[in-house]
Structure 1
């Protein structure tokens, strides 16, 4: 049984390749719109890069970018910071929940903790949510990704 374009936990990784519009909110702090690209790097890696405009709560607008490395896993993927040597951000193992494939992980960025979730929805979109708690950081970041339409 499949859920929309994701076609099962084993297929989600391959369906990420390409360009996505992103819309992010960081509660009470900022919002970002931009483009995210997953570019295939053989054999089982996707290089992730996002670029966009961030509007801070006070109205200031900034350009922003971020890069990660996604590696295929048997039921999901592992996300690495774009560093040399690569350092694991988190491992996501996907499970079916209703009409979505979902996974979650925790990352300690001492002294703060990132609780992250990925939800791949039946309409072909996906949402990444980071709840960050600790003495230095306290916020929720939620990003909606929609497949970018061809020009």
Structure 2
């Protein structure tokens, strides 16, 4: 009778090796598809801009450029907005959030050590949304 205890580590190692190979193949396929998607989007964009005056309706979808709006202002302008909202009994700070990118920018540009512990100690709640994506292996984010 074969001792299943001695086979388990070998089986797990084999399964892990097979999974690693499959994962590598999937990542290559995903990168290939991303590249193909980007090329197709660029080609479609050119066709829509040149042949359809920037907008193409296909069934219940419209392909074209659509605005993505954000507002930036100096700190003085932001203070003015906050004051105007407060006058109308709106708490402006319910609508203002701090991004990790802005914290990194503060650290880099201003040399301030604003870390997670500091943020939590003054009352901020950290919100993390996990999304499956890829990034460079040496990336901090």
Select the structure that is richer in helix.
Answer: 2
Higher strand share: 1
TM-score range, shorter chain: under 0.3
Scaled by the length of structure 1, the TM-score of the pair is: 0.15
TM-score, structure 2 normalization: 0.16
- Greater relative CO, 1 or 2 (CA 8 Å, sep 6+): 1
